[in-house]
Chains A and B, each alone.
Chain A
């Protein structure tokens, strides 16, 4: 009941914003997407796709892109610092990040730091709300974030180069080349985003009366990628995706006199994929090798560090068969072997196999169903049987109904299992049942997606201090989350004037089943909105973000909160039409110069500027 009222209210709110984001969606020739199942098995859930034109309008690091364009809530330890998410009221390790179809959440802590990823390295970033463990495995409880590189097979030689320079010596060099013909496709990318990040804290002074500023906040994120596709013949395709990245960051201080520390982390990802298309039978084989590591220097001036690294090998066989025109089945076998070693958890190996079976049935264009079941096998823990059932139905020209039920899980990490001391080898995975109903309204240029969800998570992992002062993880809590998400997009052309608007609103209740308290660092409300206008060579856009307050303590002490805030950005760019495109742009971030922070004592910058040159040739 209250949800409904809130929904009506949110609609009202949203209608105040005008916006536009889905710029040019070029109709391409043949493009091979890296993660076919994302499209195939997500009809019954909501997927928000952010293509490269939106990616280019945001600051490079993924936190910024998703914070301003999706319902996901971010907790940032200062600009560019550690950034973790809460999606639908879940914890940081209950959102899975998927790179070209492979789950890349850290094997060590289960989560992804969104400030170590540059959005420009991908052709698109998609946000899929809701459970996805059936296909994507551990951590896909709140939702999944998909980083996709698409390979195109037609004749082209395209380069894009974006150069940024902004306040606090923020420098971005983002380059991508696409070279392809009908047989070969190559994509090479390079990105480097860095900043001295020494911004002033608005209205914050030390006890001596000196202006406070972000000390020890330097970051430098470098990623190199190379993706290659080769068509052996009409039926057989080979693809190779590789990516190497290094993030070198100091860690911003809470108090000026603190010891300055530093955190360096990196990854190397390789994925070899084979696609065979033999009419009714389709085969896909994947082998991925993923390496991640970190070094933490408690004192950056000393050469002492703690470290951890994991090497993970995944092989996957996915056989699809069309039983009838309307019915397809997929059988997937998956094997993963991860070796981890580090100063905290010694030297351990874990093996997990899984088998899944998926069915997709399209009764007709308007009514589509999907069903799947998955079971994992491992010596490390008892794994639940996962399933997903979904249906989508186009009930009228402007209304589509979606239903989805699923069971999802999150497995214990290397830290949870093996940390010395305290690691607990008898942990169960966190598991959740989830139900959602989506309503998609399409009238003319407006698309409105409304999703209501409810889920329960049991066996939530929590580190608790023991009697001897040693912390240890336990399967303690039960959490119930429910809420509503609204996505709105609108686009309209009046002569040469193109207007577009996008907005999202999330209302989230996520509470401990026993104490009835809202999980800390989960806001009840979050709103994003973007409006854009373009005419001929000029385009401009305005972005808005509202984050409701969050509790910072589990007991919901009303005095211990991070207050609500809103931030707006404005940008304008002009295309000189040199080469195939030459845009020069200027952005004002936090245009109203408001003090805000997503975590206590971690202020974000006031008004700051960025200018960029975006060349395509």
Chain B
């Protein structure tokens, strides 16, 4: 049973990155955890996840913030994503079907959203509502494509609409497909999923309807929006990796196809008109308007299995999944590839979230 779960996890290994910024311009700290970075640690089958914190000046580090502030409360298993709204941070624990709402500056628990969620993955916020992808049931991998359970597993994913004023589940938008990462732009949700989908699903928030999807190819994971263009990294097994650019105004698609040496690309992030992407434990960068990939890494990290990646404010953040039995590591580099800080975080670190 343990193995089964472990493999379920391994299968759904969705790795993670997302940099949620918000528009708070004041730099006066509003609490202990203002002006810093949360590192989300997924946890393993038995232990539940945890959250680490490093301050922007890299001087203050706390390995386990949530339990330090909230004592015995269980954050949940397989913590996957954090998103912010107002004074709150929303921590999604996928294995526990729960979103922990905490004050983003003190990390004190405010509420839990614990209904309407089934394997929640990632969330975004628009106008006081959160939109959270839910993987719902998974297709059994040993059954044929026409098996009822496979069909259900591949079509039952949905977006949960959550009212952030009351922290309650409000409604759901069925996607008739599979969902994982989500981006919001101009009242529309853009959703990718790397295992069973070759489409970019588009949802109109106002009408709560699914619009015609854009075919982008299989194994699409990281997705970022910049100046009206979605940048999606896909790395199909045994095939060339690509950055797929979708122009949101007309849904036109263009591609930067990587050479074979960059097969199995992992993550992508965009910062200051530059695309940063990873292959194995190395980081590369190109301009957003580049038409070819760079083969020269700017970082060769000691990471064994890259599990979390982000670029923010002239720093590059990398997390090593580790072996899920020991506290693992996160690394912070500057843009020229010099290591700034090495941190011992929790089990299975999978993402960085910037609390500024």
Is A254 a contact of B77 with CB atoms below 8 Å? yes
Residue of A with least CB distance to B139: A304
Within 8 Å of chain B (Cβ to Cβ): is A397? Answer: no
Within 8 A of A (CB), among B69-98: 72-74, 76-77, 93, 95-98
Within 8 Å of chain B (Cβ to Cβ): is A366? Answer: no
Is A259 a contact of B1 with CB atoms below 8 Å? no
Interface string of A290-323 (1 = CB under 8 A from B): 0000101011001110100000000000000000
Is A468 a contact of B264 with CB atoms below 8 Å? yes
Interface string of A443-476 (1 = CB under 8 A from B): 0000000000000000000011111111100000
Is A82 a contact of B98 with CB atoms below 8 Å? no
The 5 closest A-B pairs by CB, nearest first: A555-B326, A255-B96, A257-B114, A343-B142, A554-B325
New A-B contacts (7) at CB < 8 Å, excluding given A259-B119, A343-B141, A466-B305: A109-B3, A255-B97, A344-B142, A467-B264, A553-B326, A554-B325, A557-B326
Interface of A is mostly: loop
Residue of A with least CB distance to B115: A257
Is B325 a contact of A467 with CB atoms below 8 Å? no
B329 to chain A, nearest CB (A): 11
Residue of B with least CB distance to A204: B72
Within 8 A of B (CB), among A181-212: 204, 207
Within 8 Å of chain A (Cβ to Cβ): is B323? Answer: yes
Given A304-B137, A552-B47, A554-B326, verify A257-B3 contact (CB < 8 Å).
Answer: no
Given A306-B140, A555-B327, verify A255-B76 contact (CB < 8 Å).
Answer: yes
The residues of A that contact B115 with a CB separation of less than 8 Å are 257
Within 8 Å of chain A (Cβ to Cβ): is B109? Answer: yes
Within 8 Å of chain A (Cβ to Cβ): is B256? Answer: no
Within 8 Å of chain A (Cβ to Cβ): is B290? Answer: no
B308 to chain A, nearest CB (A): 13
Q: Number of A interface residues, CB 8 Å? A: 45
Interface of B is mostly: loop
The residues of A that contact B140 with a CB separation of less than 8 Å are 304, 306, 343
Is A259 a contact of B97 with CB atoms below 8 Å? yes
Contact of A553 among B10, B93, B327 (CB under 8 A): B327
Is B74 a contact of A257 with CB atoms below 8 Å? no
Is A600 a contact of B137 with CB atoms below 8 Å? no
Within 8 Å of chain B (Cβ to Cβ): is A175? Answer: no
The residues of B that contact A343 with a CB separation of less than 8 Å are 140-142
Is B323 a contact of A552 with CB atoms below 8 Å? no
Residue of A with least CB distance to B68: A559
Within 8 Å of chain B (Cβ to Cβ): is A577? Answer: no
Could you give 24 example pairs across A and B, Cβ below 8 Å?
Answer: A109-B3, A207-B112, A254-B48, A254-B96, A255-B76, A258-B77, A258-B95, A258-B96, A258-B97, A259-B97, A259-B119, A298-B8, A298-B137, A302-B137, A465-B323, A465-B324, A467-B280, A471-B6, A471-B10, A553-B327, A554-B323, A557-B327, A600-B46, A601-B46
In the bound complex, how far is the Cα of B40 from the Cα of A488, in angstroms? 49
Given A257-B96, A299-B137, verify A306-B321 contact (CB < 8 Å).
Answer: no
The residues of B that contact A471 with a CB separation of less than 8 Å are 6-7, 10
Within 8 Å of chain A (Cβ to Cβ): is B4? Answer: yes
Within 8 Å of chain A (Cβ to Cβ): is B245? Answer: no
B-binding residues in A (CB < 8 A): 82, 109, 204, 207, 251, 254-259, 263, 294, 296, 298-299, 302-304, 306, 343-344, 415, 419, 422, 463-471, 520, 552-555, 557, 559-560, 599-601
The residues of B that contact A464 with a CB separation of less than 8 Å are 323
A533 to chain B, nearest CB (A): 40
Is A344 a contact of B114 with CB atoms below 8 Å? no
B192 to chain A, nearest CB (A): 17
The residues of B that contact A559 with a CB separation of less than 8 Å are 64
In the bound complex, how far is the Cα of B326 from the Cα of A554, in angstroms? 5
The residues of A that contact B64 with a CB separation of less than 8 Å are 559
Within 8 Å of chain A (Cβ to Cβ): is B13? Answer: yes
In the bound complex, how far is the Cα of B118 from the Cα of A441, in angstroms? 60
In the bound complex, how far is the Cα of B327 from the Cα of A520, in angstroms? 13
In the bound complex, how far is the Cα of B325 from the Cα of A471, in angstroms? 13
Is B114 a contact of A256 with CB atoms below 8 Å? yes
The residues of B that contact A467 with a CB separation of less than 8 Å are 264, 280, 304-305
Given A306-B142, A554-B325, verify A465-B10 contact (CB < 8 Å).
Answer: yes
Is A296 a contact of B4 with CB atoms below 8 Å? yes
In the bound complex, how far is the Cα of B111 from the Cα of A520, in angstroms? 34
Given A263-B1, A304-B140, A466-B305, verify A255-B93 contact (CB < 8 Å).
Answer: yes
The residues of B that contact A468 with a CB separation of less than 8 Å are 264
Within 8 Å of chain A (Cβ to Cβ): is B220? Answer: no
Given A553-B325, A601-B46, verify A255-B98 contact (CB < 8 Å).
Answer: yes
